Amino acid sequence: MRTWFPDMLMSVQFPVVFHLGPVGLPAHFVFESLAYLVGFRLYLYLRNRHGDSVDSDQRLLVITAAALGAALGSKVLNWFTDPIRTLHNWHNPVYLMQGKTIIGGLIGGLFAVEAAKHFKGIKQRTGDLFAIPLAAGIAVGRIGCFLSGLDDDTYGIRTGLPWGVDFGDGIRRHPTQIYEIIGLAILGGLLLRVWKRPHREGDVFKAFMIGYFGFRLVVDWIKPGVFVLGLTSLQWACAAMLVYYAPDLPYLFGFRKVPSYDRPASTLPLL
């Protein structure tokens, strides 16, 4: 059945594999690699353009802690997406190493960085430079998730809407990966606004986390999953993080004035 998407997209055979001579490169691998590259280059650009609040050694510590925490968190939370299946495969290392989730990566990276900063006595907020690169990197990575079709667990449930996509099983589904790309583009614009106005150090990163967790809390209702008390494990994690960031909402929405000693509005265009 034809969908609302252009003819070129309707002719896609999922999962997409790019061929480089005799070598086949899965789209997920290609775009995940590109996501890391785009995110890192954008981070370097922002750091060079606007400076950094911590020295190079401290920043290296933060990046290392974030990477290790994200790798661990993305795996651990993924195990809870289907707890029964995980229990049945608890002694299967292949199963345990498969799959990961961005939500777990963000949470693991956050608390790993906070632990490392506490250990080293770093008081500055260090996340602002990561916010926009993270939004851009996740958006690029979601292109690969979309092109992976049913091989990736990020597709939506059945829909009768005209933009539903058949990923190869004859069922038109919500293209939730595309929804997320659009949502991240909007979130990126909001992050630019936060950056350019007076704000507390760390508010840009907090705005990213609140925006992303809020979006995922909503959109994951139209994804397949194991629901417990009305929410999946990923949604429960998002809800918990929104509670964690609740004290910051009055500042981000302008209900409470930013202290005069914190970061002034940017006098230069961010990009």
pLDDT tens by residue, 137-167:
999 999 999 999 999 889 999 999 999 999 9
* Per-residue tokens: 244: 């964690």
61 located within any domain: no
Measured distance CA(114)–CA(111) in Å, rounded: 5
Using alpha carbons, select from 89, 103, 98, 86 the residue that is nearest to residue 138: 103
Sign of CA dihedral 3, 170, 183, 28: negative
Residue 5 to residues 9, 183, 212, Cα–Cα distance (Å): 6, 18, 26
Q: What is the pLDDT of residue 269?
A: 40
120 located within any domain: no
Q: What is the pLDDT of residue 53?
A: 84
Length of the chain: 271
44 located within any domain: yes
- Owning domain of residue 221: 7-53+125-252
Measured distance CA(78)–CA(109) in Å, rounded: 15
Q: What is the pLDDT of residue 6?
A: 47
Total domains in the fold of the chain: 1
Residues of the chain with pLDDT under 70: 1-11, 254-256, 258-271
Q: What is the pLDDT of residue 261?
A: 43
172 located within any domain: yes
74 located within any domain: no
Rounded to 10 degrees, the C-alpha dihedral 215/149/35/174 comes to: -20
100 located within any domain: no
143 located within any domain: yes
261 located within any domain: no
